[in-house]
Structure formats: structure tokens, C-alpha cells
């Protein structure tokens, strides 16, 4: 099963037989078999026909209406559909299942972090960063041997400190030095940019988790509460270093985001200005809409990486022996 992303600013989407037909200016631009879909995400301004909406309701295919940045306005769902039972299956995961899931997610995060640092220092090798890369490799090896969630949390925290210190040293000349992570409130442009980008990604991931009927408050590594969607915090880990951090580096190094003019001091912290938030969100929307080669060798927008990870976790809930497929940068 897969998602259909409707990203166009204009056009229509209808149904002919068992196929969804997308048209713009009267010309067919996309055709996909309806039985292959489990959700349609409308991120542009296309008009969906009543016949298509009814066909989706009959098949239990959810339609979500999102902003270009991944924020969910709402969704259309059959009153008899949904996956309400999946939350109960999450509760049946054993301690060993949770440990294995956490190992996959954090090992993926560390691997993506290491590859990003390698790419950034391909032409500018620095001893500090090279040492951090070596230590990240060690942490990744130790994560895979971990026997408890406490051990995983400790290793992840140490690896994150190594990674951010190295990344900050590479961006220091651009005014984005790492001086320690401070989240509430952020105290440096580095913190502010990380926090803003992670929050946008976090909310987009929450939408995907809810669309798949998982309980976002039932995690495997993080501890959930009435105010903390632990599963979102779990699944976002490898996506931070796969999507958000590389994008932020590109924005900084191309000077689209500048530390001296893009931030303001208020409420005891440092925050992106409104103009730069809009600039970042527009660029992020374009970045996530770009077509890439996915793990199944199909082409799709980067948004599909979120869907793929969530679907992999769904499969894990039912069959932990299959493991979790975490998207990784090569």
C-alpha cells in the first residue's frame, strides 16, 4: 500500500473505474489504481470529485488535507473504517520488542548523523569532526548490543552531544556555533533553527501516525504522557538527521538563513523572525515535495519517507520479528 500525494496548486482528481485520474488544464498528469492506496494526502489546491471521495470512503481510504508544510487541517474517514485496534496491538509489544525497535531507530539516527558529517567534511577534513565520526561509529555498535532501554537512552544522549558539537564546529563560521542544546527557550540561532525545524517535522509525523491508527502516546523508547506523544518522539529520531539537519545545513551554507539578521531576541530566548519562518517553510515545502528514489525503487516526494517509516512500524506492531525498516542516508 502507498500514499497518493496531491501537491499541485490547481487541477482536479476524479475516478474512472478503479483508477484515480489527476488532471490539470484538461490534461491527464497522473493515474494510479485505487486499490493500491491506503491514504490520499491533499497538499495543494486540487478539487476532488464527489465520486472519488465516496469511493475512498467505501474502501476505507482516508483523505487528509494538509498545508504545504505538513500541518493537518482535518481528514475524511469512513465511520466504519479506521484502525482503532492498532493501539491495542501496540500495548502487546513486549519489553524485548520495544528494545529492538528502539535499537533500530536510534542506530538509524546515528548512522544518518555520521553520513552527514562525512559528506560535510569530504573536502574539508577536520580532526575534531573526524574524531566525532569515529565515536559515532562506536556508539552505533554499542547501541546494537544494548540490552535495556536505559542503556540505549544513555548512548543516544552521548552520541547526540558528539554529533551536535561536530556539526556546530562546521557551521561556526556562519554564526551557528553549538553552545549546548537549550530547547525552552532556545538561546542561540543554532538552537532556534533546530527547534523550529524539528517541531515542523514532529507535527507532520504526528499526522501520519494518527492516519495509520497508531496510538501516538504509546512509544517504545520515550515515555508517554497526556502531553507527550512518545511514539512521535521515537519515530522522528532518524528523520532529524536524515531530513531536517541536512536541509538546515543547506539553508545556512547557501546563506538563505543568516544568523545576524534572521533571528530576534524575545521572551528570554532567540527565535527565527516571522519573515525567516515564512522563508524557511516555503523552502522546506519545495524540498519535501521533490521527487526522490524510494527504498522500493519507486519515485515519490520526500514526504513518502515519513509514510514509509510509519508503515514499517505498523508492520512491526503485528510482526516484531520482521524488524523496522529505517530510512538511511547512504
Residue ranges at the known binding site for Mn(2+): 156, 222, 237
- Closest by Cα among 198, 167, 185 to 176: 167
What SS3 class is residue 289? helix
Helix extents (H) in 27-148: 50-59, 86-91, 95-120, 127-145
Owner of C-alpha cell 542506530? 107
* Region for residue 26 given its phi and psi (left: phi exceeds 0; alpha: psi -120 to 50; beta: otherwise): left
Distance CA 291, CA 304 (A): 10
C-alpha triplet 316, 322, 328: angle, nearest 5°: 80
Q: Which residues line the annotated binding site? A: 156, 222, 237
> Is there a contact between 12 and 22 (Cβ–Cβ < 8 Å)?
yes
Measured distance CA(177)–CA(56) in Å, rounded: 49
Give the count of beta carbons closer than 10 Å to the beta carbon of residue 108: 24
* Coil vs helix vs strand at 219: coil
* Helical ranges in 121-178 per DSSP H: 127-145, 149-171
Residue 304's H or E segment, with its range, is helix 303-318
| DSSP 8-state secondary structure symbol assigned to residue 272 | E
Amino acid at each position: 500500500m502507498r500514499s497518493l500525494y496531491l501537491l499541485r496548486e490547481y487541477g482536479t482528481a476524479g475516478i474512472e473505474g478503479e483508477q484515480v485520474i489527476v488532471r490539470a488544464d484538461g490534461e491527464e498528469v497522473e493515474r494510479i489504481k485505487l486499490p493500491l492506496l491506503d491514504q490520499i494526502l491533499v497538499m495543494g489546491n486540487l478539487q476532488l470529485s464527489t465520486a472519488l471521495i465516496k469511493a475512498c470512503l467505501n474502501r476505507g481510504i482516508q483523505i487528509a488535507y494538509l498545508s504545504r508544510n505538513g500541518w493537518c487541517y482535518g481528514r475524511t474517514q469512513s465511520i466504519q473504517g479506521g484502525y482503532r485496534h492498532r493501539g491495542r496491538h501496540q500495548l502487546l509489544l513486549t519489553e524485548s520488542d520495544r528494545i529492538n525497535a528502539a535499537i533500530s531507530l536510534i542506530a538509524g539516527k546515528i548512522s544518518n548523523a555520521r553520513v552527514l558529517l562525512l559528506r560535510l567534511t569530504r573536502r574539508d577534513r577536520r580532526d575534531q569532526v573526524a574524531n566525532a565520526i569515529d565515536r559515532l561509529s562506536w556508539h552505533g555498535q554499542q547501541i546494537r548490543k544494548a540490552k535495556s532501554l536505559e542503556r540505549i537512552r544513555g548512548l543516544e544522549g552521548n552520541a547526540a552531544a558528539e554529533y551536535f558539537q561536530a556539526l556546530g564546529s562546521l557551521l561556526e563560521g556562519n554564526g551557528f556555533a553549538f553552545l549546548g542544546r537549550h530547547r525552552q527557550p532556545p538561546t542561540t540561532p543554532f538552537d532556534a533553527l533546530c527547534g523550529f525545524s524539528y517541531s515542523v517535522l514532529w507535527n507532520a509525523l504526528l499526522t501520519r501516525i494518527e492516519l495509520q491508527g497508531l496510538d501516538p502516546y504509546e512509544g517504545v523508547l520515550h515515555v508517554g504522557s497526556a502531553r507527550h506523544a512518545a511514539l512521535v518522539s521515537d519515530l522522528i529520531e532518524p528523520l532529524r538527521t536524515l531530513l531536517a539537519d541536512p536541509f538546515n545545513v543547506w539553508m545556512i551554507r547557501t546563506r538563505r538563513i543568516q544568523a545576524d539578521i534572521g533571528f530576534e531576541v524575545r521572551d528570554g530566548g532567540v527565535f527565527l523572525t516571522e519573515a525567516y519562518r515564512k522563508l524557511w517553510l516555503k523552502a522546506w515545502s519545495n524540498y519535501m515535495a521533490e521527487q526522490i528514489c524510494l527504498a522500493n525503487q519507486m519515485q515519490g516526494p520526500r514526504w513518502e519517507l515519513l509514510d514509509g517509516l510509519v508503515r514499517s512500524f505498523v508492520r512491526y506492531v503485528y510482526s516484531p520479528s520482521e524488524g523496522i525498516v529505517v530510512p538511511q542516508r547512504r
